[in-house]
Amino acid sequence: MPRSYLKEARRRVGPKRERIGPIIDRLATEHADAAIALRFRSPLELLVSVMLSAQTTDVNVNRVTQVLFEKYGKPEDYLAVPQEELERDIFPTGFYRQKAKALRGTMRLLLEEFDGEVPRRLEELIRLPGVARKTANVVASELGDAQGIVVDTHVRRLSQRLGLTRHENPVKIERDLVRLVPRADWGRFPHLLIWHGRRVCDARRPRCEDCVVNDLCPSSRV
């Protein structure tokens, strides 16, 4: 069970519905460059990158895909080689056997049911092997049609610290956030929390004195 940050939210700072707008505005100003760190040139490359990013860093994925995408340009390419060869090509991302199997299954389904194109709808994306809700949310959002809010470790931690949720489960956290965050911000909101989590709101030592939303945060130590 990942660490919970719910108990840190002790201060009274006002209703969350009144705070969410200023929180988004301030973080958007502070982290104007907040965006996905994965590098891709097409919907297929995006999907593959996100699938490979499980249990590893974006930097590592980008290092692997820089070479991978020169060899594999379309779904058929992933099925044209033995699985063992694909495993070797993605080995540095970890869990390479499971990822190779999921990639091949996804490519097969794309060809069989989606004319080789990456679907845009969440309910279609989650049918792809190895694509759970978080991955589907990332892909849909980056393709310009956010249908939910991505909840990763940073989003979970900051949502709890900011008092935007009282839940531990990512699905329930997402449910709280989509009720609270304006739909127009569903795509950028996770990026803002992720970059703020990386740069300021560290898991062990949050730099509350440097935080632009410390007066809106029930967990602020200032």
For the chain, what are the domain ranges?
Answer: 6-35+149-216, 43-142
Q: Are the C-beta atoms of residues 46 and 139 closer than 8 Å to each other? A: yes
Q: Are the C-beta atoms of residues 118 and 110 closer than 8 Å to each other? A: yes
- Which residue type sits at 150? V
By annotation, the residues acting in catalysis are 134, 152
Distance, in Å, from the CA atom of 86 to the CA atom of 90, rounded to the nearest integer, reads 6
Task: Write out the DSSP string of 140-164.
Answer: HHHTT---S----HHHHHHHHHTTS
pLDDT band at 3 (very low <50, low <70, confident <90, very high): very high
| Tokens at 133, concatenated | 């809700």
Q: Say what the pLDDT of residue 1 is.
A: 72
Are 6-35+149-216 and 43-142 equal in CATH topology? no
Q: What is the CB-side half-sphere exposure of residue 169 using CA atoms within 13 A?
A: 4
The stretch 151-171 carries a mean pLDDT of 97
Q: Say what the pLDDT of residue 2 is.
A: 86
Tell me: the pLDDT tens digits for 45-69?
A: 999 999 999 999 999 999 999 999 9
Distance, in Å, from the CA atom of 20 to the CA atom of 11, rounded to the nearest integer, reads 16
Contacts of 121 (CB under 8 A, 6+ apart): 140, 145, 147
Longest CA pairwise span in the chain (Å): 59
Tell me: the pLDDT tens digits for 69-117?
A: 999 999 999 999 999 999 999 999 999 999 999 999 999 999 999 999 9
Q: Say what the pLDDT of residue 61 is.
A: 98
The stretch 168-172 carries a mean pLDDT of 96
Measure the CA angle with vertex 23, ends 21 and 24; round to 5°: 70
The stretch 181-188 carries a mean pLDDT of 97
- Rounded to two decimals, what is the model's pTM? 0.93
Is the C-alpha dihedral spanning 116, 120, 125, 127 positive or negative?
negative
Q: Say what the pLDDT of residue 166 is.
A: 97
Average pLDDT, the chain: 97
pLDDT at 9 over 90: yes
Tell me: the pLDDT tens digits for 113-144?
A: 999 999 999 999 999 999 999 999 999 999 99
Class of the CATH domain delimited by 6-35+149-216: mainly alpha
Q: Say what the pLDDT of residue 47 is.
A: 98
Tell me: the pLDDT tens digits for 18-48?
A: 999 999 999 999 999 999 999 999 999 999 9
Domain 43-142 bears CATH identifier 1.10.287.130: no
